[in-house]
């Protein structure tokens, strides 16, 4: 086809099959694996490198697959950028009492920022990844679509891509199911055909996120755990170790189940309440990005997802002149957390998304006269 494609190869089955499919289609393919784990002096410890994604074993797996496919393979160290843009961001957001998704800055800044630039500098026409998503081009530009396999769809974490990124990106797996991808890997004799998937954030290495945070931040200032009326029920060990919707690990006894309903970083307080206190009728988003490069004109009907695996919910999107947006749900949504991402869909298309800044609780029923 005369086109050169750089494939982001993580050492897993998805990116390996992406490279194989592109080679079969006639592209000139080479692989790039990013190594984020070289030690950075003066920074906090990270989890066991053998249990992290992008581990040394994963790099070797990617290299073996590249050799099997007969394509060049390169490894780039991105430790400083990964630490600054992903790990430090993750820690800082929790310190603010928010709940971040580190896959968002990783995709926007590392994969489709730094890696895309490296790929183009090496002569590639496109960057391909093993994400389950699709791109469609028409007279209106490039459109980001969900994958055909709803169980594997990863369009949520790609909402930050724009027209330039989509014009230079290929997602070969968007039309496949996971079972089909593994079958292709087996047919081609790829050594990663049966490799297990990583089920958590790549840097946790099997740790609970609170244990990982403790490695990074050490001791935080304790503070009060309060009920909705402001009554102190106990003491927390630092707001970074709590998230909206959390029930376990609160260390308080009550006659009914209590959940983290809000975190107040200005007072260093964790507020708890019954499950009903978790529901919100709308969210306000900041740092809003639209795939088309511009917001829709006026309020539009959408479906919205308030976290990666949450079901989509019918809603109305209201863009604001300052670049923020409000999403008003038809039905109240459970535990939207500041710092998480709300993504906007229209059918199969991703319109964009933003970081949840705050949410509006469901109004209390009017008093009966």
Residue among 106, 157, 185, 240 flagged as catalytic: 106
Q: What is the pLDDT of residues 75-86, one digit of tens each?
A: 998 988 998 999
Burial class (CB in 10 A: 0-12, 13-18, 19+), 218: exposed
Task: Give the per-residue SS3 of the chain.
Answer: CCCEEEEECCCCHHHHHHHHHHHHCCCEEEEEEEECCCCCCCCCCCCCCCCCCCCHHHHHHHHHHHHHHCCCEEEEECHHHHHHHHHHHHHHHHHCCCCCCCHHHHHHHHHHHHHHHHHHHCCCCEEECCCCEEEEEECCEEEEEECCCCCCCCHHHHCCCCHHHHHCEECCCCCCCHHHHHHHHHHCCCCCCCCCCCCCCCCCCCCCHHHHHHHHHCCCCCEEEECCCCCEEEEECCHHHCCCCCCCCCCCCCCCCCEEEEEECCCCEEEEECHHHHEEEEEEEEEEEECCCCCCCCCEEEEEECCCCCCCEEEEEEECCCCCEEEEEEEEEECCCCCCEEEEEECCEEEEEEEEEEEEECCCCCCCC
CA distance 355 to 287: 6
Averaged confidence pLDDT in the chain: 90
Using pLDDT thresholds of 50, 70 and 90, give the confidence band for residue 366: very low
What percentage of the chain carries pLDDT values higher than 70? Answer: 92
Residue among 202, 262, 272, 291 flagged as catalytic: 202
pLDDT at 364 over 90: no
pLDDT at 332 over 70: yes
Give 324 or 219, the one with higher predicted confidence.
324
Q: Active-site residue 54, yes or no?
A: no
CA distance 56 to 44: 20
Q: What is the pLDDT of residues 213-241, one digit of tens each?
A: 888 877 788 999 999 999 999 999 899 88
Please report, for residues 171, 200, 286, the alpha-carbon distance to residue 152 in angstroms, rounded to integers and kept in the order given: 13, 14, 27
pLDDT at 163 over 90: yes
Residue 367: per-residue pLDDT? 45
Residue 252: per-residue pLDDT? 87
pLDDT at 44 over 60: no
Q: What is the pLDDT of residues 340-349, one digit of tens each?
A: 999 999 999 9
Q: What is the dihedral of CA 200, 202, 205, 211, to 10 degrees?
A: -70
Residue 48: per-residue pLDDT? 52
Question: For residue 261, which of 165, 335, 349, 314 has the smallest C-alpha distance?
Answer: 335
Question: For residue 180, which of 132, 217, 223 has the smallest C-alpha distance?
Answer: 132
């Amino acid at each position: 086809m005369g086109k050169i494609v750089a494939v982001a190869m993580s050492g897993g089955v998805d990116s390996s099959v992406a490279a194989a499919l592109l080679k079969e289609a006639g592209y000139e393919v080479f692989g790039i694996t990013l190594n984020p784990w070289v030690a950075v002096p003066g920074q906090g410890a990270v989890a066991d490198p053998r249990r992290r994604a992008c581990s040394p074993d994963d790099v070797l797996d990617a290299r073996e697959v590249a050799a099997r496919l007969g394509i060049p393979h390169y490894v780039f160290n991105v430790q400083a950028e990964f630490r600054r843009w992903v790990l430090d961001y993750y820690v800082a957001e929790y310190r603010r009492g928010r709940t971040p998704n580190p896959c968002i800055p990783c995709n926007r800044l590392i994969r489709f920022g730094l890696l895309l630039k490296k790929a183009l500098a090496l002569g590639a026409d496109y960057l391909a990844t093993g994400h389950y998503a699709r791109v469609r081009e028409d007279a209106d530009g490039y459109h980001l679509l969900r994958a055909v396999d709803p169980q594997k769809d990863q369009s949520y974490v790609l909402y930050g891509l724009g027209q330039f990124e989509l014009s230079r990106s290929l997602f070969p797996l968007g039309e496949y199911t996971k079972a089909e991808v593994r079958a292709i890997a087996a047919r081609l004799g790829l050594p990663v055909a049966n490799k297990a998937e990583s089920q958590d954030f790549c840097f946790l290495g099997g740790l609970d996120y609170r244990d990982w945070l403790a490695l990074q931040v050490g001791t935080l200032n304790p503070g009060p755990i309060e009920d909705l009326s402001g009554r102190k029920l106990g003491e927390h060990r630092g707001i970074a170790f709590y998230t909206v919707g959390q029930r376990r690990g609160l260390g308080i006894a009550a006659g009914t189940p209590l959940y983290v309903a809000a975190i107040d970083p200005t007072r260093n307080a964790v507020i708890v309440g019954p499950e009903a206190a978790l529901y919100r009728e709308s969210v306000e988003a900041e740092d809003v990005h639209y795939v088309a490069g511009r917001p829709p004109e006026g309020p539009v009907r959408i479906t919205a997802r308030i976290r990666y695996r949450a079901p989509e919910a019918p809603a109305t999107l209201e863009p604001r002149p300052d670049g923020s947006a409000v999403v008003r749900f038809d039905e109240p949504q459970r535990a939207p957390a500041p710092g998480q991402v709300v993504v906007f869909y229209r059918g199969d298309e991703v319109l964009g998304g933003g970081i949840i800044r705050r949410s509006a609780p469901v109004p209390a029923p009017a008093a009966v006269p």
